[in-house]
Amino acid sequence: MPFATRADLLARVNARRLAQLAVPADHAMPVEETALRAVIAGAAIDSFPADEQPALVLALDAIDRALADADALILSYGVPPQIQTTLLARLASTVVLYYLQGAERMTEDVEKAYKAVIDLLKAFAKGEVDFAPPGPDAPAPGGLASIESAPPRYAPRGGKAAWPLENWP
């Protein structure tokens, strides 16, 4: 079972951006902006104009190849394929977007996100992070958290307001 699906990817990036990344540069973008979204949701490709169909087929192929490559990358760090979490779907989607972006269109944000995924996968491989969800018999997180903050910014040195609340009208 894959870590992320086409629908997971579409949930994390808008359809227009996904089409811009997945449709090859030598093909025209589908005129209907929602075409890729509809095809991912299960619409038949032949329900769109004949001149848009090749671009949709190639876009789905590019997305599927990137999804398979992202799965292979995650598996290469020893993540068991049976672990299916939203975190892993997000990580796989980030890798897919990095792959679809390509070297000539790479942005700094996408590259940073990809490097963060790789760092997290390396931490998993070292045993520092566990992607498995807690089991039903796992202890509930407990303990009290203590939250402290600095004194109010514009208060006098004693940290108390100059006018006690009782004196306010």
Residue 164 lies in a domain: no
Which residues span the domain enclosing 115?
6-126
Kindly report whether the global pTM for this prediction surpasses the value 0.85: no
- Contact between residue 35 and residue 52 where contact means Cβ atoms under 8 Å apart: yes
The per-residue pLDDT for range 46-104, each reduced to its tens digit, is 888 888 888 889 999 999 999 999 999 999 999 999 989 999 999 999 999 999 988 66
- Within a 10 A sphere around the Cβ of 126, how many other Cβ atoms? 10
Residue 23 lies in a domain: yes
Closest CA to 1 of 82, 70, 89, 79: 82
Residue 144 lies in a domain: no
Residue 13 lies in a domain: yes
> Domains in the chain: how many in total?
1
Residue 152 lies in a domain: no
Residue 18 lies in a domain: yes
* Percent of all residues in the chain with a pLDDT value above 90, rounded to a whole number: 37
Residue 46 lies in a domain: yes
What's the token pair of residue 105?
A: 């269109």
pLDDT mean over 129-154: 72
Residue 64 lies in a domain: yes
Mean pLDDT rounded to a whole number for the chain: 83
Residue 115 has pLDDT above 80, yes or no: yes
Model confidence at 35, pLDDT cuts 50, 70, 90, reads confident
Percent of the chain as helix, strand, coil, to the nearest 5: 55, 0, 45
Distance separating alpha carbons of residues 118 and 139, to the nearest angstrom: 29
